[in-house]
Structures are given as C-alpha cells and as structure tokens.
Amino acid sequence: MATEDYIPRKAIPVTPEQMKKLRELIPFGFHGLVFRAIIDDLIDVLERCGPEILIPIVKRKMKLEKWSNVIKEGSDEARNTPQINSKDGQS
C-alpha cells in the first residue's frame, strides 16, 4: 500500500450501552464527523493546557461542554490538577 493511501484509524472499546446510545443519538453517517470534531477540540485543549488537562477529563470532573471554557479562560483547571506520570499515565 502506498503511503499516500494510508488512513490512520483509532479503535477503542465501548460498552454495549454506549454503543446503543451512540446509534440512537447520532444519525447514520455522522459518527466519523462528530468524533473527528471532538478529537480536534481535544487536541486544541491539550495544546493550550498541556497533558495535565487529561486528569480532570478522565476522572469526569471536566466534561465536553467545559472544554470550550478551558480554551477561552486558559488552563486554570489544568494548573490545579496533579501532573501525569509520562511512563504509565498515572497521576
């Protein structure tokens, strides 16, 4: 396969309940569009705040609707969280 034909993909496991809700709530054909938009926003937040922002996201202390506030207000939420250990991703 030629390099220009390569399309990177990211596969993650989801629960049956998550898959059911995604199928119910996101119209057919929109899944890729929605997840690519979320990934772009996550990259933007990470570039502005650094990897420390992952802790409140993973611990569900910061949900998707707050990401835009982080972009606007800076990284206060990230500065008030523990550092991520780069070897194992643990705080």
For 7-23, the pLDDT digits (tens) are 999 999 999 999 999 99
How many domains in the chain? 1
- Domain containing 80 equals 29-91
pTM over 0.85: no
Residue 50 has pLDDT above 70, yes or no: yes
Closest among 67, 76, 77 to 45, alpha carbons compared: 67
In eight-state DSSP terms, residue 48 is H
Sign of CA dihedral 53, 57, 59, 61: positive
Question: 81 lies in a domain?
Answer: yes
Per-residue model confidence (pLDDT) at position 64: 83
Collect all residues with Cβ–Cβ distance below 8 Å to 91 and sequence separation of at least 6.
55, 81, 82, 83, 84, 85
Question: 22 lies in a domain?
Answer: no
Question: 3 lies in a domain?
Answer: no
Per-residue model confidence (pLDDT) at position 3: 73
CA dihedral 67, 45, 28, 59 (to 10 degrees): -60
Query: What average pLDDT does this structure show over 55-76?
Result: 76
